[in-house]
């Protein structure tokens, strides 16, 4: 007599189980608080921008007076704001910016339902885990057309929502299924520098919140949204690696494998900026004028070329997605800050940027996405060459920012966002790791 073989777990089922079985230490909560600080500081700073002002006008115009904001719409607003200035975090192996999706979703729900700081931070660990693990499985071809933050982010937002809404495993699977069915976000906006990228983060955050809230009421979703015959991988991931969703279950939380940006530009430009700052110091030390530079060669990986090969940058936003401008700015500007991508800096850097040649080269091409590196070579008119290379960029787990660096970055962002008493908000966010309450944000 034969017995029926049990049906294997769906990938979302296995992901829920894996995530909920991972232990959470005090060190994990401390790190989650720093990443939460980074994301919320980015959201508040993003208000001080043209797209940010549009998002705030939209939100304010659709809000009822004296009524607590709907968490889905709040998540959309915070997510959109967080992704504007190009200073939010990045998980390299998945090419996902988890913070701009997971933190807004989790914060909006924690604020509405009165969840404490440690509950919020635990949910954020869960959300980063889901977004990153799905992102690691989509394969490199997906990223050529689809924006991974937009397509994988909803899974992270839903996982965070499941934790904060106390969903059982079945309801959490429903939430991930319906969040994944809303995955969307195309790179077409890069051709014109449209504001669409901010919409991607906001939609992904809101999709996870909605899916979680509906699952709490019994709204069902597809368990095999990832691997099904009409699921996400089949539809949008020609070289998917489904096993990556659950590979290495005992690895550290993916949040601690996430990079923090020190410069306000696309992460693909950061190895180049990092190397460029080293070369600027060497040129200054040796008394070499930038006028003596005949050519600059940037060697990197294919994804950096796909997204950031932009010889002429006509706006701040295009400059943030230009390897050519970024290396010129690193060599010319004393600090690669917001001003380094502005109109004056673009004019100052244009001549040097025109001398830049970018190309795909190993070992950086083969090492991507586990490692995001590159080399910059400067050829002087005399024939002398100088070069600097990075296996990883500043802010990666292998070259991390210190706690004080991250606090200083947050203070810079909050000051840019015209936040009153930034130190008080920083302390309140970090105190969540040791039992503090979820702090209120004043967005208007």
Under 8 Å between Cβ of 204 and 101: yes
Report d(CA 210, CA 75) in Å as an integer: 10
Sorting pLDDT into bands at 50, 70 and 90, what band is 7? low
Q: How far is CA 215 from the centre of its chain?
A: 26
CA angle 202, 204, 208 (to 5 degrees): 120
Q: Name the least confident of 67-71, 115-119, 187-191, 296-300.
A: 67-71
Residues whose CB is less than 8 angstroms from the CB of residue 213 and which lie 6 or more positions away in sequence, other chains included: 71, 72, 161, 165
* Euclidean distance between CA atoms 358 and 297, whole angstroms: 6
CATH topology of 11-262+401-434 equal to that of 267-390? no
pLDDT at 257 over 70: yes
- Backbone dihedral angles phi then psi of residue 309, each to the nearest 5 degrees: -85, 90
Task: Name the band, by pLDDT with cuts 50, 70 and 90, for residue 67.
Answer: confident
pLDDT digits 0-9 by tens, 380-433: 999 999 999 999 989 999 999 999 999 999 999 999 999 999 999 999 999 999
CB 147 within 8 A of CB 197: yes
Helix (H, G, I), strand (E, B) or coil at 232: helix
User: What pLDDT is recorded for position 68?
Assistant: 78
pLDDT at residue 8, rounded to an integer:
75
> The domain 267-390 is classified under which CATH number: 3.40.50.300, 3.30.1330.120, 2.40.50.140, 3.20.20.70?
3.30.1330.120
pLDDT tens across 195-232, in order? 999 999 999 999 999 999 999 999 999 999 999 999 99
Average confidence score pLDDT of the chain: 95
Q: Are 387 and 377 in contact (CB under 8 A)?
A: yes
Q: How confident is the model at residue 61 (pLDDT cuts 50, 70, 90)?
A: confident
Q: Residue 1's pLDDT band (boundaries 50, 70, 90)?
A: very low
Q: How many Å apart are CA 311 and CA 151, to the nearest integer?
A: 28
The SS3 of residue 309 is: coil
Q: Which of 327, 333, 385 is nearest to 356 (CA)?
A: 327
For residue 5, the tally of other CB atoms under 10 A from its CB is: 6
Q: Is the pLDDT of residue 6 over 60?
A: no
- pLDDT for position 2: 45
Average pLDDT over residues 127-153: 97
pLDDT of residue 9: 87
Domain segments of the chain as ranges: 11-262+401-434, 267-390
pLDDT of res. 5: 54
Helix (H) or strand (E) holding 389: strand 385-390
pLDDT score of 347 more than 80: yes
pLDDT (tens digit per residue) in 171-192? 999 999 999 999 999 999 988 8
Phi, psi angles (nearest 5°) of residue 253 = -55, 140
Integer-rounded Cα Rg, in Å, for the chain is: 22
Which has the closest alpha carbon to 259: 107, 2, 38, 15? 38
| Spatial separation of the C-alpha atoms in residues 147 and 83, rounded to whole Å | 13
CATH number of 11-262+401-434: 1.10.4100.10
Evaluate if residue 4 carries a pLDDT over 80. no
């Amino acid at each position: 007599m034969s017995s029926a073989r049990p049906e294997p777990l769906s990938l979302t089922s296995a992901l829920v189980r894996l995530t909920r079985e991972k232990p959470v230490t005090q060190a994990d909560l401390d790190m989650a608080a720093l990443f939460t600080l980074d994301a919320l500081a980015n959201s508040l700073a993003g208000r001080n921008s043209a797209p940010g002002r549009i998002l705030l006008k939209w939100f304010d115009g659709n809000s009822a007076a004296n009524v607590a904001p709907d968490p889905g719409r709040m998540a959309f607003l915070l997510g959109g704001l967080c992704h504007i200035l190009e200073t939010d975090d990045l998980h390299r192996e998945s090419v996902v910016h988890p913070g701009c999706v997971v933190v807004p979703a989790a914060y909006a729900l924690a604020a509405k339902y009165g969840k404490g700081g440690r509950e919020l931070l635990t949910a954020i660990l869960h959300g980063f885990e889901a977004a990153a693990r799905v992102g690691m499985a989509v394969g490199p071809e997906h990223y050529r057309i689809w924006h991974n933050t937009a397509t994988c982010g909803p899974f992270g937002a839903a996982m965070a929502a499941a934790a904060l809404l106390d969903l059982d495993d079945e309801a959490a699977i429903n939430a991930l299924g319906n969040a994944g069915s809303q995955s969307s976000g195309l790179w077409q906006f890069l051709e014109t520098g449209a504001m669409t990228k901010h919409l991607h983060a906001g939609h992904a955050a809101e999709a996870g919140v909605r899916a979680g809230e509906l699952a709490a009421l019994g709204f069902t979703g597809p368990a095999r949204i990832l691997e099904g015959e009409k699921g996400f991988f089949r539809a949008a991931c020609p070289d998917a690696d489904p096993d990556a969703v659950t590979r290495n279950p005992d690895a550290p939380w993916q949040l601690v494998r996430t990079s923090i940006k020190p410069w306000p530009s696309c992460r693909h430009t950061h190895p180049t900026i990092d190397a460029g700052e080293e070369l600027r110091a060497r040129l200054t030390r040796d008394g070499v004028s930038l006028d003596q530079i005949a050519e600059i060669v940037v060697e990197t990986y294919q994804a950096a070329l796909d997204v950031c090969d932009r010889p002429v940058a006509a706006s701040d936003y295009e400059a943030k997605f230009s390897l050519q401008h970024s290396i010129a700015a690193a060599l010319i500007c004393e600090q690669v800050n917001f001003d380094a991508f502005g109109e004056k800096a673009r004019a100052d850097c244009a001549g040097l940027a025109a001398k830049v040649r970018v190309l795909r080269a190993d070992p950086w091409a083969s090492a991507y996405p586990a490692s995001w590196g590159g080399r910059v070579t400067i050829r002087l008119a005399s024939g002398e060459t100088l070069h600097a290379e990075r296996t990883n960029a500043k802010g990666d787990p292998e070259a991390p920012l210190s706690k004080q660096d991250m606090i200083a970055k947050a203070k810079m962002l909050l000051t840019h966002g015209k936040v009153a008493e930034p130190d008080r908000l920083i302390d309140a966010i970090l105190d969540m790791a040791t039992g503090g309450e979820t702090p209120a944000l004043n967005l208007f």
